[in-house]
Amino acid sequence: MKQPLFFTKTVKILVLFLLFSCSIIAQNVPILKIADLEKRIKNDSDTTYIVNFWATWCAPCVKELPDFDSISKVYANKKIKVLLVTMDFKEEVKTKVAPFIKSKNIFSEVVLLDEVNGNYFIPKISDAWSGALPATLIINQKKKINHFFEKKLTFEFLKSEIELTDK
């Protein structure tokens, strides 16, 4: 049975809309330079930022992402902001990073740090950072909180750090 022309055109438009929507989703990972990231997290607000540096190719990083996502959800109504900073290549934002985020149902905000000179950007995050992943910075300029961890973290550990900084 042949479909009416109207039905065929509607299906084509719907397919094009879905393809276009997927490309918009892929563009939802902002690409930042270190100066942009510093402005975002090193400010005078009373928000505590939990900034996790990770990559799609880093197994321990991927394993800890659900814990960061849980923290993001549990503290959604507090002045706690989880920011997941991927160290993947910017050329892979649409083909690798965005599909990865979607497939893992990541709730937290994700940005890509577009820097290649570790000698330049790593000390801007922490003098304690060797450049290894995963790495996490917990920072609140107003409260003078600046804790850095170069290891895989758990929900329980993050929660205890938040409770310490919330006093």
What would the pLDDT profile of 24-83 be if each residue is shown by its tens digit? 344 489 999 999 999 999 998 999 999 999 999 999 999 999 999 999 999 999 999 999
4 has a pLDDT exceeding 80:
no
Note the Cα 160 to chain centre separation in Å: 21
Decide if 16 is inside a domain.
no
Number of domains in the chain: 1
The model carries a pTM of: 0.83
We report the CATH number of the domain holding residue 160 as 3.40.30.10
Decide if 39 is inside a domain.
yes
Decide if 56 is inside a domain.
yes
Decide if 4 is inside a domain.
no
Q: Which of 21-25, 49-53, 117-121 has the lowest mean pLDDT?
A: 21-25
Decide if 21 is inside a domain.
no
Q: Is the previous residue joined to 30 through a cis bond, with omega within 30 degrees of 0?
A: no
Query: What six digits make up the tokens of 62?
Result: 């991927």
What residues make up the domain containing 105? 29-165
Decide if 106 is inside a domain.
yes
Decide if 17 is inside a domain.
no
- At residue 2, the pLDDT reads 57
